């Protein structure tokens, strides 16, 4: 296996060039353009990606246009500073909305700050950001694109790393000084239940099971026209799969005479049968009414409140680990209810009354005083608020006499959700309150990250209840996508089986069956199943040779949550890293000098790492994470022996 040569520069490999890798590159360029304490040492960045350097796999620029982002364009940027009159470059560039407004295609310019761009367009924006960084690099910095899969990262014993690459030119090795693992969405071995379905499909000709992945990477074209197709999951990926099987096959939506949308089929659609545990299609996000730099001013769930809860836990139990259900979730609920009731009064009685209520109600919450008297004074029921569990599981405890009855109930819920979504995420009480779940993520992270919860509470209360609830209620698609789904259900193209859906293989008859125990007569037979659930990162289940080899060698280790009182251990599946700058911990529990991990590989150590952008005019956690790594990458590593000068030739590794 030939080794690629190198020059006497500090060489940094960014493994993965999607948003996380790109954000580190951007901050490196900004820092290298500023005052330098190193005398202007040269830095070479190798941007390595197996699919598309500059955008990565998920946002690559060759995917179909019907796949849409679920963050409005005005709230998305990859630059750590806004335009300043000069050229777009690291530290100064347009938000996605500002970039769209420049485009000659009027359809892109019409998306607007509160609209949703196609994912392929975001990929094009990422390419623009990458090019603008590379075209305006500070002196002494170079960026070399390397299109290849990294199959191993091995410390060489002398303070550097050998990267093994698998690409079109065959196996190669690169020697680098520092490595950032920003590998994004993983490929995970299926669970035992899913593997059983996959095995059944392999044993019976005519059966197909499409494993969970981005809809752009699932071979949906293999599914026959007109045949029944099952879909597991009703979240964001479900919408993508459904669009691929309808609009992707020539169907189209048009305005309906009574409002909403109507679907015009092409005749090539399969008959889609879908379901999930909740039986509820993920609700729409409220129409955006917030400026890009909106910041939620928390009343109850504040960093100080989390720190105080942790101090109490230490005093009571001898451990700072929190119980999410009893010590964090009530703060979340109170924060949501406060926004809901304030917005409700603003709509009913005006701004002045709402402001007085917010002040009195907030003061009572902070002081731990009863809030019912405050609510009564303003004409609100004493138990007014949002039942988040009921919103997320509206069919819990319900049974339906037949599929038609369930369909009628589901369509009524979708229609009501659309009505609430059109009220907006500031003016509408329900969607304003649910948007708080997005706004308070950083404070929830303060409670959860780095083993902040008792292991049992993390598993049962946080992962088991709160994370699914949060994803369902706060991370929905645009209104237009829900309108489209409603039209497909009304037109008979999509059928939702019901809650607690069961998927089984009947190899004897050569079919999969989908059914809901809560809907009589719901059993449906299909010959193909599409898994529309997003795989969760799992270091031990990751199918990539990169993580398998690093884990086996001890270059990385899994983060394990421990209860110091009971000794309970919970294997999380996340790569263990330090706090910022996120140095990887090896098998011995010590940081591996020069090795960092960011984003999805560290999920379960840090929560909600799939964030794919910063926000204009705000120094978000996304940008702070990247800057912390960039700053540390440029520090000299102690005891580094001098490296002889060589000749670089990276052409064969690209």
Would you state the pLDDT for residue 636? 84
pLDDT band at 146 (very low <50, low <70, confident <90, very high): very high
Whether the Cβ atoms of residue 590 and residue 562 lie closer than 8 Å to each other: no
What span, in angstroms and rounded, lies between the C-alpha atoms of 60 and 227?
A: 30
Its domain, for residue 523, covers 192-282+477-531
Quick one: 146 and 273 in the same domain? Answer: no
Q: How many C-beta neighbours within 10 Å does residue 619 have?
A: 12
Quick one: 421 and 339 in the same domain? Answer: yes
What span, in angstroms and rounded, lies between the C-alpha atoms of 199 and 209?
A: 9
CB-based contacts of 434: which residues, under 8 Å, 6+ apart?
A: 286, 336, 386, 391, 425, 473, 474
What span, in angstroms and rounded, lies between the C-alpha atoms of 11 and 174?
A: 10
Q: What is the mean pLDDT of residues 357-385?
A: 96
**Which phi-psi region, left, alpha or beta, contains residue 139 (left: φ > 0; alpha: ψ -120 to 50)?**
beta
Tokens of residue 612, six digits:
């794919």
3-state secondary structure of 3: strand
Quick one: 518 and 562 in the same domain? Answer: no
Q: Could you tell me if residue 294 is inside a domain?
A: no
Quick one: 315 and 434 in the same domain? Answer: yes
- Please choose, from the candidates 430, 529, 517, 531, the residue with its C-alpha nearest in 3D space to the C-alpha of residue 474: 430
Q: Angle at which helices 479-490 and 403-423 pack, to 10 degrees?
A: 160
Q: Beta-strand (E) ranges in 75-177?
A: 141-147, 149-155, 161-167, 170-176
Assess whether pLDDT exceeds 60 at residue 243. Answer: yes
Quick one: 50 and 114 in the same domain? Answer: yes
Tokens of residue 628, six digits:
């912390």
Give yes or no for a cis peptide into 539 (omega within 30° of 0). no
Q: Beta-strand (E) ranges in 16-160?
A: 43-49, 141-147, 149-155
What span, in angstroms and rounded, lies between the C-alpha atoms of 178 and 176?
A: 6
pLDDT, tens digit, for every residue of 604-643? 999 999 999 999 999 999 999 999 999 999 998 665 544 4
Tokens of residue 414, six digits:
């979708």
Tokens of residue 581, six digits:
């700058």
What span, in angstroms and rounded, lies between the C-alpha atoms of 26 and 629?
A: 11
pLDDT band at 8 (very low <50, low <70, confident <90, very high): low
What span, in angstroms and rounded, lies between the C-alpha atoms of 331 and 441?
A: 13
- What is the distance, to the nearest Å, from the Cα of residue 316 to the centroid of all Cα atoms in its chain? 35
Rounded to two decimals, the pTM is: 0.94
- What is the distance, to the nearest Å, from the Cα of residue 165 to the centroid of all Cα atoms in its chain? 27
Whether the Cβ atoms of residue 12 and residue 631 lie closer than 8 Å to each other: no
pLDDT band at 654 (very low <50, low <70, confident <90, very high): very low
CB-based contacts of 573: which residues, under 8 Å, 6+ apart?
A: 536, 537, 538, 539, 540, 541, 558, 603, 604
Rg (alpha carbons) of the chain, rounded to whole number: 26
Whether the Cβ atoms of residue 284 and residue 417 lie closer than 8 Å to each other: yes
Would you state the pLDDT for residue 639? 58
Would you state the pLDDT for residue 5? 38
Supply the DSSP string of 405-449, one letter for each residue.
HHHHHHHHHHHHHHHHHHH-TTTSHHHHHHHHHHHTHHHHHHHHT
Based on the structure, what is the number of domains in the chain?
Answer: 3
Quick one: 316 and 398 in the same domain? Answer: yes
Give yes or no for a cis peptide into 581 (omega within 30° of 0). yes
Q: How many C-beta neighbours within 10 Å does residue 408 have?
A: 11
pLDDT band at 564 (very low <50, low <70, confident <90, very high): confident
Would you state the pLDDT for residue 470? 96
pLDDT, tens digit, for every residue of 537-550? 999 999 999 999 99
pLDDT band at 494 (very low <50, low <70, confident <90, very high): very high
**Where among 504, 531, 558 does a domain terminate?**
531
3-state secondary structure of 429: helix
Q: Is the dihedral of CA 14, 16, 18, 19 positive or negative?
A: negative
Would you state the pLDDT for residue 39? 57
What span, in angstroms and rounded, lies between the C-alpha atoms of 480 and 500?
A: 27
Quick one: 334 and 464 in the same domain? Answer: yes
Looking up residue 100, the CATH number of its domain turns out to be 3.50.50.60
Q: How many C-beta neighbours within 10 Å does residue 199 have?
A: 14
pLDDT, tens digit, for every residue of 181-197? 999 999 999 999 999 99
- Please count the CA atoms within 13 angstroms of the CA of 218 that sit on its side-chain side: 28
Assess whether pLDDT exceeds 90 at residue 7. Answer: no
Tokens of residue 606, six digits:
């840090």
Q: Could you tell me if residue 585 is inside a domain?
A: yes
Q: Could you tell me if residue 21 is inside a domain?
A: yes
Interior angle at CA 29, CA 176 and CA 605, nearest 5 = 65
Would you state the pLDDT for residue 647? 28
- Please choose, from the candidates 128, 132, 179, the residue with its C-alpha nearest in 3D space to the C-alpha of residue 156: 179
Q: Could you tell me if residue 293 is inside a domain?
A: no
Quick one: 483 and 464 in the same domain? Answer: no
Quick one: 469 and 486 in the same domain? Answer: no
Q: Could you tell me if residue 287 is inside a domain?
A: no
Interior angle at CA 529, CA 527 and CA 531, nearest 5 = 175
Quick one: 266 and 231 in the same domain? Answer: yes
pLDDT, tens digit, for every residue of 70-119? 999 999 999 999 999 999 999 999 999 999 999 999 999 899 999 999 99
Question: Do β-strands 591-597 and 583-585 pair in parallel, antiparallel, or remain unpaired?
Answer: antiparallel
Q: Could you tell me if residue 632 is inside a domain?
A: yes
Q: Could you tell me if residue 130 is inside a domain?
A: yes
**Where among 458, 474, 490 does a domain terminate?**
474
Mean pLDDT computed over every residue of the chain: 93
- Please choose, from the candidates 72, 78, 77, 75, the residue with its C-alpha nearest in 3D space to the C-alpha of residue 117: 72
Tokens of residue 341, six digits:
């009731």
Whether the Cβ atoms of residue 11 and residue 177 lie closer than 8 Å to each other: yes
pLDDT band at 38 (very low <50, low <70, confident <90, very high): low
Quick one: 29 and 167 in the same domain? Answer: yes
Q: Beta-strand (E) ranges in 516-568?
A: 524-526, 528-531, 558-562
What span, in angstroms and rounded, lies between the C-alpha atoms of 518 and 414?
A: 19
What span, in angstroms and rounded, lies between the C-alpha atoms of 273 and 283?
A: 18
**Where among 465, 497, 531 does a domain terminate?**
531
Q: Return the H-helix or E-strand segment holding 363.
A: helix 351-367
pLDDT, tens digit, for every residue of 305-332? 999 999 999 999 999 999 999 999 999 9
What span, in angstroms and rounded, lies between the C-alpha atoms of 137 and 596?
A: 23
What span, in angstroms and rounded, lies between the C-alpha atoms of 476 and 146?
A: 35
Quick one: 224 and 328 in the same domain? Answer: no
What span, in angstroms and rounded, lies between the C-alpha atoms of 526 and 472?
A: 26
DSSP 381: -
Phi, psi of 573 (to 5 degrees): 90, -5
Q: Which H, E and C letters describe 200-220, residue by residue?
A: HHHHCCCCEEECCCCHHHCCH
Q: Could you tell me if residue 296 is inside a domain?
A: no
Q: Is 519 exposed, middle or buried (0-12, 13-18, 19+ CB in 10 A)?
A: buried
């Amino acid at each position: 296996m030939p080794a690629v040569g190198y020059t006497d520069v500090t060489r940094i490999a960014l493994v993965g060039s999607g948003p996380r890798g790109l954000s580190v590159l951007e901050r490196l360029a900004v820092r290298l353009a500023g005052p330098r304490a190193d005398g202007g040492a040269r830095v070479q960045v190798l941007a390595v990606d197996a699919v598309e350097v500059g955008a990565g796999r998920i946002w690559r620029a060759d995917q179909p246009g019907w796949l849409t982002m679920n963050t409005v364009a005005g709230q998305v940027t990859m630059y750590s500073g806004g335009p300043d009159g000069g050229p777009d470059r690291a530290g100064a560039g347009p938000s996605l909305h500002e970039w769209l407004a420049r485009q000659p295609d009027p359809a892109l310019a019409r998306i607007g700050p509160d609209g949703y761009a196609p994912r392929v367009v975001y990929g094009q924006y990422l390419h623009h950001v990458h090019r603008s960084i590379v075209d305006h690099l500070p002196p002494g910095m170079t960026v070399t694109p390397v299109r290849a899969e990294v199959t191993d990262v091995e410390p060489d014993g002398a303070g550097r790393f050998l990267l093994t690459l698998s690409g079109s030119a065959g196996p190669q090795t690169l020697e680098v000084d520092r490595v950032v693992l920003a590998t994004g969405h993983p490929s995970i071995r299926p669970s035992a239940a899913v593997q059983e379905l996959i095995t059944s499909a392999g044993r019976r000709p005519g059966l197909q099971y499409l494993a969970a992945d981005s809809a752009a990477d699932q071979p949906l074209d293999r599914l026959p026209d007109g045949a029944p197709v099952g879909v597991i999951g009703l979240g964001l990926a479900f919408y993508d799969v459904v669009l691929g099987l309808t609009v992707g096959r020539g169907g189209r939506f048009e305005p309906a005479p009574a409002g909403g949308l109507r679907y015009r089929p092409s005749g090539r659609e399969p008959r889609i049968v879908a379901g999930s545990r909740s039986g509820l299609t993920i609700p729409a996000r409220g129409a955006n009414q917030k400026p890009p730099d909106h910041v939620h001013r928390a009343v109850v769930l504040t960093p100080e409140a989390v720190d105080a809860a942790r101090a109490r836990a230490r005093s009571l139990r001898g451990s700072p680990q929190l119980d999410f259900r009893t010590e964090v979730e009530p703060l979340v609920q109170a924060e949501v209810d406060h926004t809901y009731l304030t917005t409700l009064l603003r709509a009913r009685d005006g701004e002045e009354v709402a402001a007085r209520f917010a002040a009195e109600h907030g003061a009572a919450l902070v002081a731990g005083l009863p809030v019912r008297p405050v609510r009564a004074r303003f004409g609100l029921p004493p138990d007014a608020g949002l039942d988040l569990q009921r919103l997320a599981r509206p069919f819990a405890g319900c049974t339906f006499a037949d599929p038609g009855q369930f369909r009628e109930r589901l369509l009524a819920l979708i229609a009501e959700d659309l009505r609430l979504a059109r009220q907006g995420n500031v003016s509408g009480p329900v969607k304003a309150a649910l948007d708080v779940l997005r706004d308070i993520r950083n404070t929830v992270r303060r409670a959860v990250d780095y083993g902040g919860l008792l292991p049992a509470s993390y598993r049962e209360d946080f992962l088991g209840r709160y994370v699914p609830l949060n994803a369902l209620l706060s991370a929905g698609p645009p209104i237009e996508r829900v309108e489209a789904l409603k039209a497909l259900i009304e037109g008979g193209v999509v059928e939702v089986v019901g809650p607690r859906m069961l998927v089984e293989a009947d190899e004897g008859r050569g079919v999969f069956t989908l059914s809901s125990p809560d809907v009589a007569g719901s059993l449906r037979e299909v010959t193909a199943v599409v898994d529309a659930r997003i795989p969760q990162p799992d270091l031990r289940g990751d199918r990539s040779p990169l993580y398998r080899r690093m884990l086996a060698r001890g270059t990385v280790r899994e983060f394990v949550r421990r209860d110091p009182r009971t000794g309970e251990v919970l294997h999380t599946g996340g790569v263990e890293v330090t706090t910022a700058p996120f140095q990887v911990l090896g098998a011995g529990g010590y940081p591996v000098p020069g090795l960092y991990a960011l984003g999805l590989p560290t999920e379960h150590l840090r929560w909600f790492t799939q964030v794919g952008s910063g926000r204009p005019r705000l120094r978000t956690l996304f940008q702070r994470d990247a800057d912390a790594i960039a700053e540390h990458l440029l520090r000299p590593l102690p005891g580094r022996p001098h490296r002889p000068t060589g000749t670089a030739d990276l052409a064969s590794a690209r």
